[in-house]
Amino acid sequence: MAKKIMIGADEEIVCPKCEHHFSLSAGINRQTIENYESEFEAAIATQKNELEATSKALIEKAKQDSIIKARAEFETEKSALAEELEEKNKKLNDFRNQELDLRKQKRELEEQQANFKIEIERKLEAERLQITEQISAAESERFMLKEADYKKKIEDAQKANEALTRKLSQGSQQLQGEVYELEIENILNAAFVHDSIDEVKKGQRGADVLQIVRTPYGQECGKIIWEAKRAENWTDKWIQKLKDDQQEAKADIAVLVSTVMPKGVTDVILKVGDIWVISLHVVKPVAELLRATLIESNKMKLMNTGRDEKMELLYNYLASPQFSQKIRTLLESFASMRNDLDAEKRAIQRLWSKREMQIERVTSTMTNVVGELQGIAHEALPQLESIETLGLEGSELDDDIVKSIK
């Protein structure tokens, strides 16, 4: 059977002899073309039918193959999924078991950790106490050594200071004591003009000042001896010496005026046995109170009989808490009045200073005016001479005011 090909009518053909180019439709007649066209169409239809049948068979086969393959793949995948699911379930059970074990181990670890912390805290507390005791003992020993060293240095310094102070004060102690005694004597003389204030001469045995209390009518009511001590440290020997001096002078009351009080005492007045111990700035109020006591006691002597009984009454009165309280009240009132007086003095002095400056300015201005007027009028205004003395007179008046304030 001859082979047939299909070529388009417009396909260009080349002549093998002359190589002339022409289309296929130019070299074949129309009838030939139509004959071959119907033949070709029949062949094509036949081939189409064959191809359709073949295609249907192939499609059916492919469809069957696909179904078989799909079923096989599905079974394979299903089996794989089942195995995977079983594996996952197994792993999940393993994970659950592991989680239970881990939770159990966690609880055990937490309990062990809590017990471990408690044990560590106990050990740390024990170690801390031991270390604290060791450090405390070491620090205590070190502090004691250092304190002893400092005390030794302080004692050495105090001894050196006391030695130096003694050397420096040997020449001035007697003078200081005399000044202190003189101050007491001046206070008593200024306050009690009717009393006899006698200074005990240096070198004579006895207290520093003897005060004989008298009424305004000259009647003697009793004796007070005053001892002055200007020192740095207190000594109990002063009390016994003053008692001996009181007995020798036959004084009713003995007073020790000291710049230093017994150890631990902060009051300005204290009674040690029968001896009154006071500070210098309360000499006047204490003396007033003691004088009043002696004067009252003297009245009682005149009114009553029996010397021993009167002396016992006087002693009981002087030793009574009421008497001490009266002295304290008097001293507190005196201190308050003294503070008020000082404050008033300062206020008046400030006011006076201000007024003095104002008066000086006015006086200076007036003097300048008078001088200018005299220079202009020459001798025509002699009455201006008296005005120049006004500033001096005002100054003298201000001095009198200041003296009265002081």
pLDDT, tens only, 364-375: 776 766 666 666
Residues 312 and 197 in one domain: yes
- Residue 274 domain flag: yes
Of the ranges 267-271, 276-280, 306-310, 315-319, which one carries the lowest mean pLDDT score? 306-310
pLDDT higher at 315 or 26 = 315
Of 287, 319, 351, the residue that ends a domain is 319
- Residue 197 domain flag: yes
Q: Quick one: tokens of 338? A: 């003294």
Residues 313 and 354 in one domain: no
In this predicted model, what pLDDT tens digit does every residue of 210-247 receive, in sequence order?
A: 999 998 888 888 999 999 888 888 898 999 888 988 88
| CA dihedral angle for residue 107, residue 108, residue 114, residue 119, rounded to 10 degrees | 180
Q: How many domains does the chain have?
A: 2
Residues 299 and 352 in one domain: no
CB atoms within 10 A of CB 302: 10
Share of the chain above pLDDT 70, in %: 73
Share of the chain above pLDDT 90, in %: 5
pLDDT score at 356: 79
Q: How far is Cα 344 from Cα 364, in angstroms, rounded to an integer?
A: 30
Residues 260 and 353 in one domain: no
CB atoms within 10 A of CB 383: 6
Of the ranges 35-49, 185-199, 259-273, 372-386, which one carries the lowest mean pLDDT score? 372-386
Residues 289 and 378 in one domain: no
Domain span at 358: 342-405
256 membership: H or E segment, kind and range: strand 253-258
Question: Model's pTM, two decimal places?
Answer: 0.38
Residues 393 and 255 in one domain: no
Residues 193 and 309 in one domain: yes
Residues 256 and 381 in one domain: no
Of the ranges 80-94, 113-127, 135-149, 280-294, which one carries the lowest mean pLDDT score? 135-149
Long-range contacts, stretch 351-357, CB < 8 angstroms, 24+ apart = 352/398, 352/401, 352/402, 352/405, 355/398, 356/398
- Residue 311 domain flag: yes
Residues 304 and 367 in one domain: no
- Residue 386 domain flag: yes
- Residue 306 domain flag: yes
Look at phi and psi of residue 264 and say left if phi exceeds 0, alpha if psi is from -120 to 50, else beta: left
Q: Quick one: tokens of 191? A: 């306050």
Residues 259 and 348 in one domain: no
Residues 365 and 253 in one domain: no
pLDDT higher at 13 or 350 = 350
Residues 280 and 396 in one domain: no
pLDDT score at 22: 66
In this predicted model, what pLDDT tens digit does every residue of 347-366 receive, in sequence order?
A: 888 888 887 787 777 777 76
pLDDT score at 393: 46
In this predicted model, what pLDDT tens digit does every residue of 61-107 receive, in sequence order?
A: 888 888 888 888 888 888 888 888 888 888 888 888 888 888 888 88
Distance in angstroms between the alpha carbons of the first and the last residue of the chain: 170
